[in-house]
Structures are given as structure tokens and as C-alpha cells.
Amino acid sequence: MSQTSTKPRLTTSAMIASIADEGQETRSAPFGHALVELARQRQDIVGMTADLAKYTDLHIFAQAFPTRFFQMGMAEQLLMGAAGGMAKEGFVPFVTTYAVFATRRAYDFIHQVIAEEHLNVKIAAALPGLTTGYGPSHQATEDMAIMRGVPGMTIIDPCDALDIEQAVPAMAAHNGPVYLRLLRGKVPVVLDKYDYQFEIGKARLLEEGRDVLLITSGIMTMRALAVAEQLRKENISVAVLHSPTIKPLDEETILAQAAKPGRLVMTAENHSAVGGLSEAVASLLLRKGVYADFDTINLPDAFLDAGALPTLHDRYGISTAAMIAKIKARLG
């Protein structure tokens, strides 16, 4: 007779994996709900996707506004071309797909159809960086590097549900194309404790600290706040500067914080070491003559493994524990 195993099931890889820690407060589908709220106020808002409405939370918009929703099928290039056409007719399309498909498969259409004419297309790209365990085909670890090279493209890497909810109307009000690294499903809420207000092109100091300055974006801001809390118990004081806009960068705020003497300055991003926040900040400091003890936390310039996200985040150095270990090693 077979016996039922009492062992807990192993954490396994999942294409749509949660980034929330156990017991962490979350909000369901903040992007989809924020877009519905915006569309109630603005008749020019439309939603478009390439067969991924359910997996980018756009299905919520589709249910609320079926006549303003356009399912383009598995054709990302067509999706971007059609979005450009909609923008030319005065609409503001919010376009969703996976980040790998938007940046790698449809890049030329974004560049030529949308960006060259500075059209009001807002691209919400899910599974940014290492937020899926399905390997290089779905891990958009170089998406910001690709999009930073597009003239006039605004790039947003939100931290949590609140960031996303506030970014959606800001994106619609912004003149020109926007690329949003979309967190979908049950998204953690952490910024509500800081009287936070998202603004395109602005960074926000969330925590003060005398020993380390962490300049962060996306889910790494969430991790940085946890790092600051844990290191405080060891009398290591960590400042956290959240930079949700990668392009344009808030140069004034970053320079002012990085110029404060006596601190280790580190960037932390869920992106390749090539072409993302870290290189943008390093270039800024060098160009402006601000010299700091500088280091980075990011993903390697490599094709990453498939597997369970907690394992991968530890392996590639972007887990809370890995961040703490690197900071303590650098401080000696």
C-alpha cells in the first residue's frame, strides 16, 4: 500500500512566479486595475496585446472596456505597428507583452514606427529581468540596455504595486513613448510606508544612511529596504535611493547623494551588468567628476539558468542574503 508523503512540495520553476515573500502584503493586478481607472476618465485610452492579456493583467481592462481592447494574436511586430497607427489617430494605446518579445522580437517596429515619430505608445512589458525561471528565452535580462538606446524612450522600472498604480496615469500624461517593466499578478506593497509619490524622472530617498548608499530600481528597491533593516541590527547604516525612472535619470538627486563623503555607493538592479542602471549611474558620476567608492549588484553578462527563482536569485547575487553578504564584504 502506498503512503501519502508528508514532505512539503519543492519550490519549482514557474513562468509566472511571485516575487512576494511569504506573508508580505500584496495587491492583485495593480496595472490592470489602474488602467481601468484611467480609462474611465479618458476615452482615448485603449489596450492592446499579443495573445497575453491574462498574463499581463490586461484582461481586467478587456472585461471593463471590450470595445477598446484589441487582441492582435501572437504577432508582436504587428502589435507595435498597429499601436503606432492608433497613436497617430489620437488614441493612447497601452501595449502589453513579455519583455523579451517587446525588446528582442519587435525592436525595429518600436524604433521605426513608434519612437522615430515620438508617438504616444505606452509599452508594459512583463517578466523583466530575472522574474521567471524559464531560462533565456523568457528572461529579459538585457531589456533596459536595448531600450536605453532608443532616442526619446522613457524607461520605468517600478518597485511595487503602488509604484505601478501611480506610474500608469503618469505614463498617459507623458508626451512620447514609454517602456514600463511590468510586475503582474500579486505584487508586493512596500512604498506606502514612505509617503511615496511616483514622478517620471525623479528618484526618491527612502532611507537615510551613513555607511552605504544603495541606488536601486525595480524589485531591488524592495530588497534594498530589507537589507537596510537587517543591517541596522548590526550597526551598519544603509541609505536607499529609489530610482524608478532609468531614462531620463534623476541626475541631480543621484549626484547630490553620491557626493556625500565616507559612504560606499552601490547600485542594485534586476538587470544585466551591461547597459542598465549601474552603467548609467557610473557614467553620470564619471562625467560629473563625482568620485566615490563604487560597486554594483546586478545580473551577470551571461545567459542565465532555468530553475526556481529563489535559487536563481541566490545564485546570481540579487537575493537579500546575497546583497547583505556583498555589502559586508566590501565594507571589510
User: How much is the pLDDT for 5?
Assistant: 47
User: How much is the pLDDT for 9?
Assistant: 45
Residues in the chain: 332
Q: Does residue 72 surpass a pLDDT of 80?
A: yes
User: How much is the pLDDT for 289?
Assistant: 98
The Cα–Cα gap between 147 and 228 comes to 30
Average the pLDDT over 61-67 and give the result. 98
User: How much is the pLDDT for 7?
Assistant: 44
**What does the mean pLDDT of the chain come to?**
95
User: How much is the pLDDT for 187?
Assistant: 97
The Cα–Cα gap between 76 and 207 comes to 40
Task: Give the rounded distance of the alpha carbon of 146 from its chain centre.
Answer: 14
User: How much is the pLDDT for 16?
Assistant: 54
Q: Does residue 299 surpass a pLDDT of 80?
A: yes
Residue 303 near residue 137, CB atoms below 8 Å: no
Q: Does residue 177 surpass a pLDDT of 70?
A: yes
Q: Does residue 192 surpass a pLDDT of 60?
A: yes
The Cα–Cα gap between 225 and 219 comes to 10
Handedness of CA 222, 227, 232, 238 (dihedral sign): negative
Position 6 confidence tier, pLDDT thresholds 50, 70, 90? low
Over the stretch 134-143, which tens digit does the pLDDT of each residue have?
A: 999 999 999 9
Residue 265: strand, helix, or coil: strand
Over the stretch 238-273, which tens digit does the pLDDT of each residue have?
A: 999 999 999 999 999 999 999 999 999 999 999 999
Q: Please state the pTM of the whole predicted model.
A: 0.94
Residue 102 near residue 143, CB atoms below 8 Å: yes
Residue 106 near residue 76, CB atoms below 8 Å: yes
User: How much is the pLDDT for 4?
Assistant: 47
Position 23 confidence tier, pLDDT thresholds 50, 70, 90? confident
Amino acid type, 55: Y
Position 2 confidence tier, pLDDT thresholds 50, 70, 90? very low
Q: Does residue 115 surpass a pLDDT of 70?
A: yes
Position 91 confidence tier, pLDDT thresholds 50, 70, 90? very high
Task: Give the rounded distance of the alpha carbon of 57 from its chain centre.
Answer: 15
Average the pLDDT over 26-51 and give the result. 98
To the nearest 10 degrees (0 to 180), the angle between helices 219-232 and 320-331 is 60
Position 15 confidence tier, pLDDT thresholds 50, 70, 90? low
Question: Could you please report the per-residue DSSP string of 182-194?
Answer: E--SEEE--GGGG
Average the pLDDT over 207-222 and give the result. 98
Give the end-to-end CA distance of the chain in Å, rounded to a whole number.
Answer: 57
Residue 151: asked if its preceding bond is cis (omega within 30°), the reply is no
The Cα–Cα gap between 177 and 156 comes to 11
User: How much is the pLDDT for 1?
Assistant: 42
Environment class of residue 142 by beta-carbon count within 10 Å: exposed (0-12), middle (13-18) or buried (19+)? buried
Amino acid type, 260: K
- CA angle 322/164/118 to nearest 5° reads 110
